[in-house]
A and B are shown apart, each in its own frame.
Chain A
Amino acid sequence: MNEESPRPPRGRRWLAYAVAALVALGLGVYAFRLLPDPAPGSRDSGPLLAVSLPDVDGHPQSLSQWRGRLLVVNFWATWCAPCKEEMPMFVEAQSAHGAKGLQFVGIAVDDAVKVRQFAKEIGLNYPALIGGYGAMELSKTLGNTVMALPFTIVIDPKGKVVLTQLGPVRPAQLERLVADFL
């Protein structure tokens, strides 16, 4: 028989399958990336709000006292330059929006003497709690798996975790949070 094969040569067919598989894989991965991170919204703020740490004067402060406010919990340290860089912005936001319900709380992976000194330097106008190295472990349980600083968690007035972020908070993010929740 002199039948011509309607099918493309073997090599090319194989290539077509490979390309199709690649496209499918790409689409899958891309779609997965587009899905919003389910972690922040579904994470319970309960364990964090149950935390109580001493302030710079040694008085225990429970985070639950700020329930109902837009609470920005920022893990930082005096040995962390990017942490110190973003804090003046927090100070500004605290004085601008504090009356409306914005509340920053710093948890320092540090000792009280260094924290007190830096707080004075920048005119810190929100509570600085002393967590020591234990605060690093605490942040890990809250999603800071890399264990680096700064690490920030934002809890909305309803008690929902709305942001969990490793690395500096961008001014636009902060503006957005204020606009959305206050």
Chain B
Amino acid sequence: MGAPVARAPALVGIALLVLEIGAAGAQVKLLPTEEAFRFSARALDARTVEASFAVADGYYLYRDKLRFSATPPEVSLGPVALPAGKVKEDQFFGKVETYRDRVVVRLPLDHAAAGQAVTVRAESQGCADAGVCYPPNAQSVTVTLPQAGAPPGPLIDANPPRKRWFN
């Protein structure tokens, strides 16, 4: 007897939940640029920093808009080999390469010393599939170069994710 009575509100609840999800899907919620394109870096050894972007699902970065620099100025970056991107045919920009999901770039450092703190700055520009683009944005991470033979340093986020209770 009790079961069917309890089932009715449960069904209403589920129906509303489905409506809820449907409404949320119809209204695209866009991430701020630092959350859409999370920059992080770690020191691999005294001469190499590994920079990476975690690109949120539904977002992409332009390969040719990616720029790296390092400070202090005496620590100059050697030639950076950007990985190949996914070719996208753009109505205005022609064939452009884009990065989705994750892109990892090795940055060779000249004149760097073990134990030194180096700030790596990445300039990037990207868009969301929802039909918006973000202006060029710079994010920085400071890493400490490990001693010779020591393991790589920890991965450091440029913008550590914040806990969100309501979203």
Contact = CB atoms under 8 A, between A and B. Distances in A.
A52 B132 CA distance: 25
B24 to A, nearest CB: 9
A85 B133 CA distance: 12
Interface stretch (B73-81, B85-93, B106-114): B85-93
Q: What size tier do the contact residues of chain B reach?
A: 20 to 34
B6 A148 contact: no
Interface residues of A, number: 33
A30 B33 CA distance: 29
Contact of A80 (B17, B30, B32, B133): B133
A12 B2 contact: yes
A128 to B, nearest CB: 16
Q: Which 4 A-B pairs have the closest CB atoms?
A: A26-B16, A148-B132, A80-B133, A82-B131
Interface in B22-40: 23, 28, 30-33
A167 B130 contact: yes
Contacts of A81: 90-93, 127, 133
B135 A166 contact: no
Contacts of B104: none
Contacts, number: 88
A55 to B, nearest CB: 21
Contacts of A29: 20
A22 interface: yes
Interface stretch (A13-21, A65-73, A91-99, A155-163): A13-21
Contacts of B134: 147-149
Nearest to B6: A16
Nearest to A121: B92
Contacts of A147: 32-33, 134-135
